[in-house]
Amino acid sequence: MSEIGMSEIGLSENGRRARHGSNIGQPLTRRDGVLKVTGAATYAADNHPDGMLYAVVATATIARGRVVSLNEAAARAHPGVVEVMTAANRPALASDPDEKSNPFMFRLDLLQNDRVRYPTQPIAVVIAQTLEAASEGAMLLEPRYEAEPARTGLDGAEVFTPPSVGVGNPAFAETGDVEAGFAEADHRIEATYETPAQYHNAMEPHSVVASWDGDQLSLDMPSQGLAIAQGRLAGLFGIAPEKIHIRSPFLGGGFGSKGVPAGPQVLGILAARMTGRPVKLVLRREQMFGPVGHRAPTRQRIRIGVSGDGALRSIENHTRTTSSTFDDFFEPAADVAHTLYAAPSIRTSYEAVRLDTGTPLFMRAPGEATGSIALESAIDEAAEAAGLDPLAFRLRNYAEVEPISGKPFSSKALRECYRQGAERFGWSRRPLAPRAMRDEQGLLVGWGMGTATFPALMFQAKARATIRRDGTGLIETGAHDMGQGAWTALAQIGADAIGLSMDEVEFRAGTSDLPDAGIAGGSGHTATAGMALHQAGVAVIAKLGELAARDERSPLFGAGNVGFIAQGGQLVRRDDASRTESFTAILERAGLDKIEAEGQASADGAAQEAYAMHAHGAVFAEVKVDPELGQIRATRLVGAFAAGRVINPKLVQSQLFGGMIWGVSFALHEHAVVDRRSGRVMNADLAEYAIPVNADVPSLETILVHEDDPHVNALGIKGVGEIGITGTGGAVANAVWHATGRRIRRFPITLADLL
């Protein structure tokens, strides 16, 4: 193929990456940072179109049963109330909200009947001139119920085998003979670990500002997947997706909960249709514990067999988890055992119960977070049984190929993560026995570690690149920035693709009328949208190069078979750096104001079939425990991570810090307390739903371990948004054991567990 237009991050004829330009790899400050710290960033609920009404959701206070009556008359009589929407008068939908056509579609509660399926399920919507009037009207509804007993907890209903887990993963997988390996082992670990229900609780609650103009729908709505939202809403309302315009330039966090439209957001759109006026609906904090997803609890029975020389003989994880009574999402917690350690026999299996709860959904590191804290604790127990240091045990059982599949890794720098992390932490000074270290105040000190892993995912995306006659560029894709820095990292990729500096490039994202950037989830957004931008840049430079190569007046005439490098707003011949021409000159002579091209990206199916693709890391944690009070503090964490090419080290470090803090939260803080009688979450607020604050994480350090991966994608990008959780939870739990000598297998670890 011709190399015309191959930019500095383009591909040469043999598929190898060319030298990168000056934008990629730079620790640039976030482009949206000033807007956010000054309050200039506009989130969905900040919009107030003329004539806007306010909608408030009334939610069920029982877990199961039916609504017998609502005092609609009292609500309608309240000053300022315009309308009350119930199952009896809700506008019709074009499709059943309980229908599913793909694994990323979830059933919605849209007032389709009087049934209650979980606490906080929407049962009515009050629409009013003011937020206060709508809130007071919702309180006046005073619903009466026919309640049925709530089914709660991992033992609260009949057990069954789910058809699949995660998104289409098999509920049973095995390699080798697990029973034989366990029987032949010199050391055997058999233990049960429990993880709780957790709720996303992004800073920005789910919201929508909806306006109808005939069959045209305009939405301000936080979304991690604009095209997915368009498609779902188009089906529900019976209109073409292009008639739905969604603006989502800023998200105040999502963690997976904003990947698909939530029921309350659709109710806001219905309220706008009912009243014929723009409507704003914003969930209260306690209403986010139910209709917008959560991480399901798990009970994981893990068996590990170890030979006398410390080699793993078998690993088994049998997981019980939960879903709602009306939909299917099953936390794939056991699957992390497929990828980490070189055991000749591995088996994972699942069972589930259906509870009166909202449907669980994707939550940051779904499966890997729950599974890794259990597996890393069990691996620590196996190391203790074998009399080995935890790091030495992991190195003894280092997997050179993916254990469950036998595939080679596309790249794996985990050994270097272990080495650099241990060296920075001072792991070599760790005594093998627990309760062997105290600080000057007499607090017990413990050191623990955990291995981090997360798959290197990539989805489908499109982008557009434009070069203007004035020498500036425009790059566009419907990308989503929920705080991870996508505005900046994607702009860096796009700018390099067209050979311009960041200051010379305009970046547009966050609206549904732009090319589909895929979903911001699975730690795959930078790879997916970034590759689409890269391909768009390659394509537009190729078109520009063709103009020059065919123009006898250009110093680049006839250079089509040689190819060009795009840099500094110029095309440069690959074989003669003295022969250049500016973008501006090429376009002026052609009489063009601009030139543009589109690009698209998707995962390489052949590479995915041939290689196991994962990011890796190692986390080392120090905790201090009061021996009399049982109080625990994670006083120091060091994480070393290898995740392919780093686009922006400042943003990557921020993401890794966030993941590590969540890992501390998983081990020591976060859980939903469910009332067994009512099924309600009792700590449905941010005062009692404990998450770490600054004082809980006094010292964090990350190391970015160099890693080149020629197979994951042309840019060599893996994701970093979720991997930080997967090693940290286990590291903290193992440090608690090392400090106290007590092995706690139920998370989060509490004072009561240690006392």
Indicate which residues carry an active-site annotation: 722
Residue 622: beta bridge partners?
447, 636
Give the Cα separation of 338 and 614 in Å (integer): 12
Give the Cα separation of 681 and 672 in Å (integer): 6
DSSP string, 233-297: HHHHHTS-GGGEEEE-S--S--TTTTSS--HHHHHHHHHHHHHTS-EEEE--GGGGSSTT--BPP
DSSP state at residue 561: T
Q: What is the 3-state secondary structure (H, E, C) of 19-68?
A: CCCCCCCCCCCCCCHHHHHCCCCCCHHHCCCCCCEEEEEEECCCCCEEEE
Nearest to 546 by CA among 462, 461, 467, 464: 467
What distances in angstroms separate CA 189 from CA 75, 176, 390, 605, one per listed residue? 60, 18, 15, 38
Nearest-Å Rg of the Cα atoms of the chain is 27
Give the Cα separation of 239 and 474 in Å (integer): 31
CA atoms 223, 227, 232, 233: torsion sign: positive
The pairing of strands 216-220 and 244-247 is parallel
Backbone angles phi, psi at 117, to 5 degrees: -110, -15
Give the Cα separation of 297 and 672 in Å (integer): 10
Give the Cα separation of 602 and 528 in Å (integer): 7
Give the Cα separation of 397 and 391 in Å (integer): 10
- Rounded to 5°, the CA angle 97-98-100 comes to 100
Q: How far apart are the first and last CA of the chain?
A: 70
CA atoms 613, 105, 655, 33: torsion sign: positive
CB 304, CB 382: distance < 8 Å: yes
Nearest to 267 by CA among 54, 477, 102: 54
What distances in angstroms separate CA 6 from CA 26, 301, 346, 483, 530, one per listed residue? 22, 53, 45, 32, 16
The pairing of strands 53-59 and 279-282 is parallel
Beta strands in 325-471 (DSSP E): 346-355, 437-438, 444-455, 461-468
Q: b/e per residue, 4-20, with b = 16+ CB within 10 A?
A: bbbbbbbbeeeeebbeb
Structure token pair of residue 255:
């963690």
Structure token pair of residue 93:
């939908």
Residue 486's contacts (CB-CB under 8 Å, 6 or more residues apart) are 479, 480, 509, 520, 525, 526, 529
Q: b/e per residue, 54-93, with b = 16+ CB within 10 A?
A: bbbbbbbebbbbebeebebeebeebebbbbbbbeeebeeb
Q: b/e per residue, 297-316, with b = 16+ CB within 10 A?
A: bbbbbbbbbbeeebbbbbbb
Residue 169: beta bridge partners?
165
